Amino acid sequence: MVESPPRQPALPRISALQRAWLEELGLDAPLLAPGLVPDDPPTVPSGRAARTGEATARVEDAGDHFIDVGPRHRAQRVGGHSAGADSRQRGGAEGEAWPRAAPAGELETLRRQVEQCRACGLCEGRSHAVFGEGVARAPDWMVVGEAPGDCDDRSGRPFQGEAGALLANMLSAVGIVADDQVYATNLVKCRPLGNRPPLPEEIAACLPYLRQQVVLLAPRLILAVGRVAAQTLTGSQSTLSQLRGRVHAFESPDGRQIPLVVTHHPASLLLQPQHKLDAWRDLVLARRAVR
Ligand code: URA
Ligand code: SF4
């Protein structure tokens, strides 16, 4: 079947603060011309049933075909050097059926396994395995990158370098508060030397850890950044530009269908800033998928 190019969601009305962030990202006056920013942003009715089609839900118009996966809720943040920093619990009147995140202890057990793992050759070059960190109970977004970089390897924390700073700004630009809403990790937990992409056999060796993280965390949405993460998590060899612009479904090992959005890797945006507007559109799409 020939696929038509993905339609872009309309851009939402933005606040002065978000405009400031966008300008900092290089998305400034020409891109933010009035015609691009409708006065009446589309709304997604709460309670809409998930509409995933066979494998993915293509965005057909700005106000429809987004997946509503459940009530909003509060976060508990653990991981990295901030373990247990925020003990707010999800639940209450809204929070019964979703999420079903596991107790933090199970995640810590998995972290220890990863720190001792020697299942692929990447263990030879690591200073630290980078397990992931952030909101550990049903984060709104689970961001999945490719592999730790040098800074991450040294610190044991994901997305520490310049690309990570850009990612944080991009999240802020769409109103995502990393401390309250995000868990960040990578396809592979150990740094490939020389910043090369991980090999298929390295990804295959490490993927069970990510899949287990998905089960334990129960994220509401997965954001795959970069081609390698996008192709791996969609199970497709299509290009990143073919995979962008729609909400896929990631089948969690526990049978849950989790909305999955793919976008450019922030490191590639540093080299190709002309893709920042597309990245912003992707994040807007992700934001609406689980509002
Ligand atoms: N740091 C990460 O943690 N992941 C990436 O993909 C790049 C840098
Ligand atoms: Fe183990 Fe993953 Fe590190 Fe390979 S990259 S040694 S599979 S933790």
Atom of ligand 2 nearest to the CA of 117: 1
Average pLDDT score, the chain: 78
pTM, whole model, 2 decimals?
0.76
Residue matched to tokens 């269908």? 257
Q: Output the pLDDT for position 11.
A: 57
Of the pLDDT bands very low, low, confident and very high (cuts 50, 70, 90), residue 102 is confident
Query: How many Å apart are CA 123 and CA 128, to the nearest integer?
Result: 9
Domain layout of the chain by residue ranges: 78-88+100-289
d(CA 167, CA 114) in angstroms, rounded, equals: 24
Q: Domain 78-88+100-289 belongs to what topology? A: Uracil-DNA Glycosylase, subunit E (3.40.470)
Question: Average pLDDT in the 147-175 region?
Answer: 95
- Check if 266 has its Cβ closer than 6 Å to any atom of ligand 1: no
Q: What is the pLDDT of residue 291?
A: 72
Ligand nearest to the Cα of 148, by number: 1
Q: Answer yes or no: is the C-beta of 187 below 6 A from any ligand 2 atom.
A: no
Strands (E), 140-240: 141-145, 182-186, 221-225
What's the average model confidence in pLDDT over 133-148?
Answer: 97
| Per-residue pLDDT at 74 exceeds 80 | no
- Residue-level pLDDT at 60: 28
User: By the 8 A CB rule, do 256 and 69 touch?
Assistant: no
pLDDT of 137 > 60? The answer is yes
